[in-house]
Structure 1
Amino acid sequence: MPTILLIAGWRLYFWANENNEPIHIHAEKGDMECKFWLDIDNFEITTALEFNLTPQARREIKKIVYEHFDYIVTEWDKFFKK
């Protein structure tokens, strides 16, 4: 499970066995966890799951994912050799 970013206490990572799923990113900070699908055609993210996120944390992690959207997609492609 490669960690690709550590920002503001958030760890963003992939699970190595999820290459059969669309592009997505997992994030965790303390006891908060979430997963977002990345729609590269429309530059959008959709929440796949979330656990213990406060509204403030949800805004913060979505902003981080949007700010690093292209980097996440590039790292996904490199890791899964797409």
Structure 2
Amino acid sequence: MLRIKGYRFYFYSHEPNEPPHIHVDEGSNALKAWLEPVSLARNIGFRPHEINGILKLVEENRTALLEAWHEHFG
């Protein structure tokens, strides 16, 4: 798990058959972002400007997130 600017970035262990992606939470808000290419998969509660900021953070950390994904899921 990774925390950046109050957001919690994490994987679910039971999703290995999906393309690489990351889940992001803050309070009751949650989103799922694809990593190749970085794009929004699903959003619950975040406002558009927040989504754009989160996707920018995902893009900035994409290499490390992909490495962690491949290390976790093999």
Unaligned runs of 5+ in 2: none
Give the alignment's TM-score, normalised by structure 2. 0.93
- CA offsets per residue over residues 21-50 of structure 1, 9 Å max, x none? 1100000011210001121xxxx2121110
Instruction: Flag as ranges the 4+ runs of structure 1 deviating above 6 A.
Output: none
Unaligned runs of 5+ in 1: none
Give the alignment's TM-score, normalised by structure 1. 0.84
Structure 1 counterpart of 2:27? 30
Query: How is 1:1-80 mapped onto 2 (pairs within 5 angstroms)?
Result: 3=1, 5-39=2-36, 44-80=37-73
Percent identity at matched positions?
34
CA distance in structure 2 between the partners assigned to 1:47 and 1:59 by the alignment: 9
- CA offsets per residue over residues 29-76 of structure 1, 9 Å max, x none? 11210001121xxxx212111001112211210111000000000000
Q: What secondary structure does 1:19 align onto?
A: coil
How many aligned positions are there?
Answer: 74
Instruction: Tell me if the contact between 2:40 and 2:55 (Cα under 8 Å) persists in the aligned partners.
Output: no
Cα RMSD, aligned residues only: 0.9
